Amino acid sequence: MVNTPRRVRLTLILIVTVIATAASAAAQSMYYKEIRKDDRIYVFNNAQEAERFETTGEMGRSITRIGAGPNGETVVADSERALELFFFKYGISEPVPPPPPPPPPAQPWKISGLVFGDYYWFTSSHLDKWEGQNGFWLRRAYFTYDHRLTPKIATRFRLEVNSNGKLEGGILTPYVKDASVQWTYLGQHQVQVGIQPSATFNWLDGFWGLRHIEKTPADLYRIDSSRDFALSLEGPVILPAVRYVAQFGNESGSGSETDEYKAYRFEGRFETNPGVALEGFYAFFERPLGQDRTIAQVFGGLRTKNARAGAQYLWQQRRSGTSAPDTEIDIVSAFGVFDVVPEKATIFGRADWVDGNNMKTSDTGLPGADGIDYLPIDPRFDFTFVVVGFDWYLHRSLRFSPNIEFVTYGDGPAGVSVDNDVVPRLTFYWVW
């Protein structure tokens, strides 16, 4: 038990501490300093602000009153309190509004989403059952929850729903698209684990910027899945404009692993905005029965305030795992996007030249061009894909885009010919 003299001493120490703290706060509140310079009077209620001004000649937040000085000088104050003290000193009767309230703290979480689809019409198709088909479909909808646990740790959970891309009807069933956590360390370096975008075209999707119109080549032609359960490392290399991405994953899409084989993806890029963007990418996918796959990709682009353009070369080798020859796919893609009126009207065009006979779904279920949702392509032929259109903004978050897709077929099996694919569409897109 504390004895009485000791209790008295502790009480006195507490009282002195409280008084000293209050006195310090009061002294700061009553601090006042004037600095006259160039027919202006600078007044301060904060000693650190006054010291900074005397050292650098710069002020932080300030309030300026023209002609408010006793001789018509301009008065610049570091706060409302400094302005009140100045008017009191010179007997000037002028009201000073109270300082604005501090902004409410930002919520650590965010809910967002997007929806896009089309009214489509297959005016021509290499598949008889698709010829003349028309109607509405919802190609994709996201519902996303982001939560920042700390300034350096964030997590994302996203659900996706879409129509059946094979024109086979059915209800729209949601599934988990993203489920990951990201930690930022050593400045801008990041590590991410969970279901996340594949490094193959994640950045390129953003540069193209028209995912609601069409996927980028590696995604569209089933070169790689858009998602993977993976561990990723990303960050700058020496300069902020130079970045790396290394990703180690299952190559199981959004699902869990079912075998021992893994995917390795590596990306390096240089990017300025506006300015030049360059990317190099390499990936190797282990698969059963020796059917491994390798991807190499290079991209160059230019971005200005109102336009962007890019060109890409993509190569993939699909090993057969047997005595049959391997399949090699070569893709050259180029696009241009021009904002006629920023956030109001955009015109765009893109062409892909694909040399890849035998891009079919294999007996083991590996995806191919004939498995593309909403636009199946005959895998027996080399082909050219073209999309052109116009993006009109009813609101910055709501767009309507009349556009048309063409697939024209080239070399293929001897004596075999098919109709080209022509699909006019009115695409709708909104986000929140």
Contact in structure between 158 and 176 (CB atoms under 8 Å): yes
Q: How far apart are CA 272 and CA 241, in angstroms?
A: 6
Selected from 2.40.160.10, 1.10.1040.50, 3.20.130.10, 2.102.10.10, the CATH number assigned to the domain covering 111-431 reads: 2.40.160.10
State how beta strands 40-44 and 74-77 pair: parallel
Of 302, 111, 346, 136, nearest to 207 (Cα)? 302
What pLDDT is stored for residue 370 in this prediction?
84
Token pair listed for 289 = 């029965």
Residue-wise DSSP of 14-58: HHHHHHHHHHHHHHHHH--EEEEETTEEEEES-HHHHHHHHHHS-
The full set of domain ranges for the chain reads 1-28, 31-95, 111-431
Q: What is the pTM of this model?
A: 0.77
What pLDDT is stored for residue 3 in this prediction?
52
Per-block average pLDDT, block size 10, for the chain (432 residues)?
A: 48 43 46 91 92 88 90 92 90 84 88 97 95 96 97 97 91 95 96 96 96 96 94 94 97 85 97 96 95 96 97 94 90 97 96 81 59 91 96 96 96 88 98 96
Of 384, 392, 404, 388, nearest to 430 (Cα)? 392
Give the chain's end-to-end CA distance (angstroms, integer).
Answer: 63
What pLDDT is stored for residue 20 in this prediction?
40
What pLDDT is stored for residue 367 in this prediction?
55
Q: How far apart are CA 23 and CA 26, in angstroms?
A: 5
Question: Is 300 in a helix, a strand, or coil?
Answer: strand
Q: How far apart are CA 241 and CA 295, in angstroms?
A: 24
What pLDDT is stored for residue 395 in this prediction?
94
What pLDDT is stored for residue 22 in this prediction?
39
Burial (CB count within 10 angstroms: exposed 0-12, middle 13-18, buried 19+), residue 198: buried
Q: How far apart are CA 87 and CA 95, in angstroms?
A: 9
